[in-house]
Chain A
Amino acid sequence: MSKSSAAGFDWISIFIYLILICFGWANIYSASLGSNTGSYFDLSQPYGKQALFIGLSIFLIIIVLSVEAKFYQRFSSIIYIISLLSLAGLFVFGKTISGATSWYSFGAFGLQPSEFAKFATALALAKYLSDIQTNIRRLDHQIKAFIIIAVPALLIIPQPDPGSALVYAAFFFPLYREGLSGFYLVTGLSAVGVFIFTLIAGPLWVSAAVMAIGLLIFFRKRKKRPGRILITLFIIISIGLSFSVNYIFENVFEQRHRDRFNIVLGKEVDSRGIGYNTNQSEIAIGSGGWFGKGWTEGTQTKGHFVPEQHTDYIFSTVGEEWGFLGSAMVVILFVLLLLRLIVLAERQRNQFYRVYGYSVIGILFIHFLVNIGMVIGVFPTVGIPLPFFSYGGSGLWGFTILLFIFIKLDSDRLSY
């Protein structure tokens, strides 16, 4: 430990973190206020509890930053295994809240292990990839890395909490950064693209488009001869997928999933049933105008028109009460934090540190993308929180630990 003074911490990230936490709390206060005004720290109300959670987060930060950086690298496997056990333990000891068995209950408070599994998985992946033996370009190592990521996700899906499981797609970013072939990216994006466009336009149009693209690639890259077989395979698989989309959509998906897709794709307008959340959320945001209605003055927020507004839909309160300026500022703060973290990750010479950093960025980014995308109606409804903003102790602590381990690691980079 050559340098552990306060000056070694990245104060830019910490500063943005603090702004987001405080602004988030202000919005939770407004969203859960109801018609009566009480003490800011009324522990029977979400805003009071969140204040307590924030206080405990500060305590957690101090602990995370006090522990030696090497500890995280050395004990990552153990942390990962404890995390998996805590997820598995839910099947026996878990408490069911709103249909999902995601909680351990301690009196009035609950802990959600899936929130902590994210940084545990990030540590484990970083540990594996930074191993001198590991070569991510090798298929067997790719599969091992995939298993590390998939196990917690598979434990989370049956809770059921597919939203939280989706977050594990974030680990693609560190893998790709460390050398995973771009083939996976192209394949994954193509599959998603084929899927969505088939839903919109039907398989015939998509097939035609895929063939056209295939021919284009074939003729343009003729000199390089990238493999006729590969392109033909791409066309055949794409068309096959396109024609099976209907089957998957109708038979694998549940009705609520289908509805969510249809609403975002504009195929169905239903402002009463499943579309209600998105519709109300858009109304709340849209009514904010340039400057918003002012803190605790949002009429939609006060009327509790947006369901889950203090948790997953907290951003709609920002939109209504702080207007375009406030909500754009939050987007900018997140972007700045993420870009800053990329800078931090890129300056790591230790591969463990860098992989962990990219995992943090990936996880925060997926949350940011899916949550705000859902609230402003450009992404299907997937229930995951907005980091540092949404109400909830486990989420806040999970994100805090996730971020501050990286800040600790970064402060330690000069020891290499």
Chain B
Amino acid sequence: MRKVLLYITILTTGILFIGRLFYLQIVDTSLAIRSQDNAIKVIYDYPQRGYIYDRNGELMVSNQPSYDVMVIPRNLKPFDTTEFCNILNLSREDLEKKLDKARIYSPMLPSVVIPQLTKSEYAILQEKMRNYEGFYIQKRSLRDYQVDHSANVLGYIAEVNQKKVNENPYYISGDLIGRAGVESYYEELLRGVKGVKYIQKDRFNRDIGAYKEGIYDTLPEKGKDITITIDAALQEYGQQLMENKRGGIVALEPGSGEILALITAPTYDPAKLVGRQRSPNFTELYYDTIARPLYDRGLLAEYPPGSPFKTLNALIGLQEGIVDTDDKFSCNHGYTYGRGRKLGCHAHRSPLDMIPGIAQSCNAYFANVYRRIIEKYPTPQEGMDTWNAHLKSFGLGDFLGSDLETGRPGKIPNANYYNQIYNYPTYKWYATATISNAIGQGEVLMTPIQLANMAATIGNKGWYYTPHILKEVNGQPIKDEKFTEKNYTTVETRHFDPVVEGMHEVYKSGTASALRIPDIEIAGKTGTAENFTKIDGKRVQLTDHSIFVAFAPVDNPKIAIAVFVENGYWGGRYAGRIASLMIEKYIKGTITRTDMEDWILSHSLEDEYAKPLSGEPFRINQ
């Protein structure tokens, strides 16, 4: 016992010490974190955000400096609060409140006291800054908009939220991040990389030089300048035309898939979401649930496409070999099927073959074609899935895969969809049950950008590039295979010729003949979509949506466009006019038909939109 007492005591002590060290160094990680907190100060140097140019090199978005007054509560020393408040036009109570808030957030970490000083405030404060220990000025870069349109395309920047800070270690509280539009989708290109300096501090919180001689310090890397495919002039013009209307315009360059214009109405001036007024302005836009200015109708609104969809059924019919361009179908003010049910049609001569069928938009013609497609196979299920596969190859019924921040898949039904609705196999269903699909009503939904892409695909006769908005990065054209490789449809090129001719006929002699532009040949298709709302729980029909889809010139398309005007009545009335003006503007650069332009600019649909909200009975389609 006498010999081993010391022996055991020493061994026990050694083991206890090693256990304690293991706890401190390995188990309890909070100590390591606190070490970083108190020994190293991190200073960030924010780079300039990249500029955004339009396809013609016009500057759309640049930067303006902004200065935030920051505070580190722990470092505060008594200061002349009266002078400080006077410079910043602040009441003493406000200042106290802000400092308390900062102290509660963290005594050691910086908090914003006054965001986004004006230049004159900054100039005065800068000189006095040395009197205010604990405060400092953080320079940031805010957006400076050179255009008053395209808010939906560009998006905006705002302070990063806590969720993102937790997810992505690049961001710290107070950083700015792109939200919506190009700013969000190409955040990583635009933001650049912020520089960082690590400063070693001593126990009095004094800087004692760079941490590890600055080997971890980095310089800020300027954000990349990007060129987007938008034509700013066309975009601005489109927005003017859409004033006092609701809807969307999407224009594409068929040969490249580049988005020339992406307009939603109503919209807002992008400059509204910059600076100290950002927050109240955003709240106002966000809570406008009637006009919904933050809702990008060109990308998000899923509507029944109506008549323009008929062109696709014609193409599928030809590819499946169940119809020939010469086959005629009769129309007796509609198409009768089943037990006395009828798909109505307007008055036109009968019977018609394919080209006049498209030009006159004959419902009976396409009901026949559609029925033959579905009934070509032993079961309607096989027919439906074949039809669905063809439409999928046009980029319908799914997200397009474009580089836009938002989008919707639309809807193209398949056999399984109807099996569920009709509870197959207990109950059977046939082509006639889905006959509305023949004319783009029924279960089919498309977004305006899908409609525009459909027009581009028809103009290209069987292929399309995925629509995209990024053209160049720092002057270098994009190389992303997603946007530089063609997507081919399952319909062969030769079948497109009669459909293109039919759409050209629409313009020459059909439903869009009033829209002719001197020297430009257009292929188009009008559409009119019934729509409903609920008033006091009752389903009420509203004035039809006005739809127009086109590409031009017919032989070598430079622009494909889809225009959608809510409650604009028939296709040629609003959408057709707007589309033809847009096409003329883009191809010619000037407008020759000023009377049509004046008509559009002077007509408002606000009365129409007010009707269902008025609480009084109203008439539609006037």
Contacts and interface: CB of A to CB of B under 8 A. Distances in A.
Interface of A: 35, 173, 176-177, 179, 182, 185, 280, 282-290, 297, 299-300, 302-305, 319-320, 323-324, 327-328, 331-332, 334-335, 338-339, 342, 346, 358, 361-362, 365, 368-369, 372-373, 376-378
A175 to B, nearest CB: 10
28 contacts: A176-B5, A280-B203, A282-B31, A285-B24, A286-B24, A286-B28, A287-B32, A287-B34, A290-B25, A297-B212, A302-B39, A302-B200, A303-B38, A304-B203, A305-B38, A305-B39, A319-B21, A319-B25, A324-B21, A331-B14, A331-B17, A331-B21, A335-B10, A335-B14, A339-B10, A339-B11, A342-B6, A368-B13
Contact of B208 (A285, A303, A319, A362): A303
Interface in B1-51: 1-3, 5-7, 9-11, 13-14, 16-18, 20-22, 24-26, 28-32, 34-36, 38-40
Interface in B67-126: none
B26 A177 contact: no
A334 B13 CA distance: 11
B41 to A, nearest CB: 10
Contact of A376 (B3, B17, B201): B17
Interface in B157-214: 200-203, 208-209, 211-212
Given A287-B36, A327-B25, A365-B10, 10 more contacts: A185-B5, A280-B203, A287-B35, A302-B39, A303-B208, A305-B202, A323-B25, A342-B10, A358-B6, A376-B17
A35 B16 contact: no
B24 A177 contact: no
A299 B203 CA distance: 11
A372 to B, nearest CB: 6
B3 A304 contact: no
B21 A328 contact: yes
Name the residue among B3, B17, B29 with the largest chain A CB count within 10 angstroms. Answer: B17
Given A283-B31, A304-B202, A339-B7, A319 B38 contact: no
A176 B202 CA distance: 48
A303 B202 contact: yes
Contacts of B22: 324, 328
B496 to A, nearest CB: 67
A130 B6 CA distance: 20
Contacts of A327: 21, 25
Contacts of B16: 378
Given A303-B200, A342-B7, A286 B39 contact: no
Contacts of B11: 335, 339
B419 to A, nearest CB: 60
B20 A328 contact: no
A214 B366 CA distance: 105
A112 B178 CA distance: 67
A358 B2 CA distance: 12
A339 B29 CA distance: 33
A376 B24 contact: yes
Given A280-B203, A289-B25, A299-B200, A365 B6 contact: yes
Nearest to A292: B25
Nearest to B34: A283
A286 B6 contact: no
Contact of A282 (B6, B24, B36): B24
A299 B211 contact: yes
A285 B21 contact: yes
Interface of B: 1-3, 5-7, 9-11, 13-14, 16-18, 20-22, 24-26, 28-32, 34-36, 38-40, 200-203, 208-209, 211-212
Nearest to A339: B10
Contacts of B2: 176-177, 179
Given A290-B25, A369-B13, A305 B203 contact: yes
A407 B36 CA distance: 45
Contacts of B30: 286
A36 to B, nearest CB: 9
Nearest first, the 10 closest Cβ-Cβ pairs linking A and B are: A286-B31, A287-B35, A299-B39, A335-B14, A324-B25, A287-B32, A303-B202, A286-B24, A305-B203, A303-B39
B32 to A, nearest CB: 4
A114 to B, nearest CB: 24
Nearest to A281: B24
Contacts of B36: 287, 299
A297 B14 CA distance: 27
B6 A334 contact: no
Contacts of B6: 173, 177, 342, 358, 361-362, 365
A305 B205 CA distance: 10
A172 to B, nearest CB: 10
A303 B206 CA distance: 9
B208 A177 contact: no
Contacts of B20: 376-378
Contacts of A305: 38-39, 202-203
Nearest to B211: A299
B10 A373 contact: no
Nearest to B13: A369
A373 B29 CA distance: 20
A300 B209 CA distance: 14
A303 B201 contact: yes
A376 B28 CA distance: 13
A305 B201 CA distance: 9
Name the residue among B25, B26, B36 with the largest chain A CB count within 10 angstroms. Answer: B25
Nearest to B6: A173
A299 B25 CA distance: 15
A286 B35 contact: yes
Contacts of A299: 35-36, 39-40, 200, 211
Contacts of B9: 365
A149 B147 CA distance: 91
B21 A376 contact: yes
A41 B388 CA distance: 85
B278 to A, nearest CB: 38
A306 B64 CA distance: 45
Contacts of A288: 25, 32
A285 B25 contact: yes
A290 B27 CA distance: 10
A344 to B, nearest CB: 13
A299 B10 CA distance: 32
Contacts of A304: 202-203
A328 B18 contact: yes
Contacts of A342: 6-7, 10
Contacts of A369: 13
A290 B9 CA distance: 27
Contacts of B40: 299
Contacts of B21: 285, 319, 324, 327-328, 331, 376
B34 to A, nearest CB: 5
A342 B3 CA distance: 9
A34 B549 CA distance: 75
A177 B25 CA distance: 37
